[in-house]
Amino acid sequence: MELSSRQEEIIEIVKANGPITGENIAEKLNLTRATLRPDLAILTMSGFLEARPRVGYFFTGKTGSELLSEKIKKYKVHEFQQVPIVVKEDVSVYDAISTMFLEDVGTLFVVNENGCLNGVLSRKDLLRASMGQQDLNNIAVHIIMTRMPNITVCRKDDLLLDAAQKLINKQIDGLPVVKDKEEGLVVIGRITKTTITKVFVELALDHHV
Ligand code: ADP
């Protein structure tokens, strides 16, 4: 995050004099404690300073990038997962393509008669199936999908960073977020490259990092 020059000044004062009270920092800057309050709030929220009651502020010694990576390593999948789009395994390739357009997603999850995860359909899976002369209404998606147990999944309490690493290592665009059930895995969300891109942009624009 970008610190204002006053915030930089506060950090320098706390580094040199900490622990120091808000009152004393204000005095050194010839400002009132009230004027300083928003800056001190930002500096403590973002982790540069720590405030101890009746002791004062002290410098945590962490750099901006250390704080940023600490924050990223705390993100969980459930905080960012999006709604999954699922189709049944007997729908046609034609209908799966329509669903992909209508729902504006790049990955569809395929479920069996119990509603459990059985496959994944990517854009290229559907393109490949469309290259032959067959009638796309007559091919069921279970013929062309990538199927269990070869599906890479994540769970809601996993770290978002681990999910992102799976996307990279497996060279895929999306992961189903699943919940374990007796009959199999129920799809409760999705994490995609777009999810990770959104988080990246949010982090860059978040002034409290
Ligand atoms: P595209 O094929 O459109 O580039 P992907 O890179 O996501 O999209 O898919 C590549 C292949 O990996 C496809 O055959 C797809 O079925 C499969 N795939 C996609 N997601 C997963 C997943 N979570 N687990 C296993 N296989 C997947």
The pLDDT tens digits along the chain (209 residues) read 678 999 999 999 999 998 999 999 999 999 999 999 999 999 998 888 999 888 899 998 877 778 888 889 999 999 999 999 999 999 999 999 999 999 999 999 999 999 999 999 999 999 999 998 889 999 999 999 999 999 999 999 999 999 999 999 999 999 999 999 999 999 999 999 999 999 999 888 875 55
How many angstroms does the Cα of residue 139 sit away from the middle of ligand 1?
19
How many angstroms does the Cα of residue 16 sit away from the middle of ligand 1?
54
Helix axes 5-17, 33-45, angle to 10 degrees: 80
Q: Where are the alpha helices (DSSP H) in the chain?
A: 5-17, 22-28, 33-45, 64-72, 93-103, 123-129, 141-144, 160-169, 193-205
- Please report the pLDDT score of residue 208 as a whole number: 55
- Determine if ligand 1 sits within 6 Å of the CB of residue 191: no
- Determine if ligand 1 sits within 6 Å of the CB of residue 97: no
Nearest atom, ligand 1, residue 120 CA: 16
Q: How far apart are CA 200 and CA 151, in angstroms?
A: 26
- Determine if ligand 1 sits within 6 Å of the CB of residue 173: yes
Q: How far apart are CA 97 and CA 109, in angstroms?
A: 13
Q: How far apart are CA 97 and CA 13, in angstroms?
A: 61
- Determine if ligand 1 sits within 6 Å of the CB of residue 151: yes
- Determine if ligand 1 sits within 6 Å of the CB of residue 123: yes
- Please report the pLDDT score of residue 154 as a whole number: 98
State pTM to two decimals.
0.79
